[in-house]
Amino acid sequence: MEIVARRKFPAKLDSLSNSLELVSACAQAKGFSARRISEIQLATEEALVNIFRYAYPEGRGEVEVICRFDARQRLVIELVDCGIPFDVLSVPEPNLTGEIEDRAVGGLGVHLMKALMDEIHYSRKEGKNILTLLASDEERSPS
């Protein structure tokens, strides 16, 4: 898979807009629909905000955003950081049916990412978190 775009950003909320623009530009270049690009942006935003807020509790760090397309022409977004280990897939599914005051806090962003992406993978290699989001051009609707 040839890399279409690769850029490092400071792991801070000020980088969110530029990070999302990079991902959007890759999807637009392949002709993804505007609605699908919005879905991809939302899922990517959830992942990036988690990295910005939690990956580097001791101070500054960065996140690398890598975009490419696989053999099925799905957009593959890799978010790579050297922050504390965190497997987003280990977050339990949130309770979506109970009374709101009885529900645990957290987990909705991860649930949304899973609903909007075709696949999500996590690995930890050489001291780096690698979160991979895969998205086809088929629109999804969060459950």
pLDDT in tens, 56-94: 998 899 999 999 999 999 999 999 999 999 988 787 665
| Residue-range domain boundaries for the chain | 3-135
Quick one: pLDDT at residue 89?
Answer: 78
Place 42 in a pLDDT band, splitting at 50, 70 and 90: very high
Quick one: pLDDT at residue 93?
Answer: 66
For range 16-24, the mean pLDDT: 98
Distance between CA atoms of residues 47 and 67, nearest Å: 15
Query: Which fold would CATH assign to domain 3-135?
Result: Heat Shock Protein 90 (3.30.565)
Place 130 in a pLDDT band, splitting at 50, 70 and 90: very high
Other C-beta atoms closer than 10 Å to the C-beta of 74 total 19
Distance between CA atoms of residues 108 and 112, nearest Å: 6
Quick one: pLDDT at residue 103?
Answer: 44
**Coil, helix or strand at residue 98:** coil
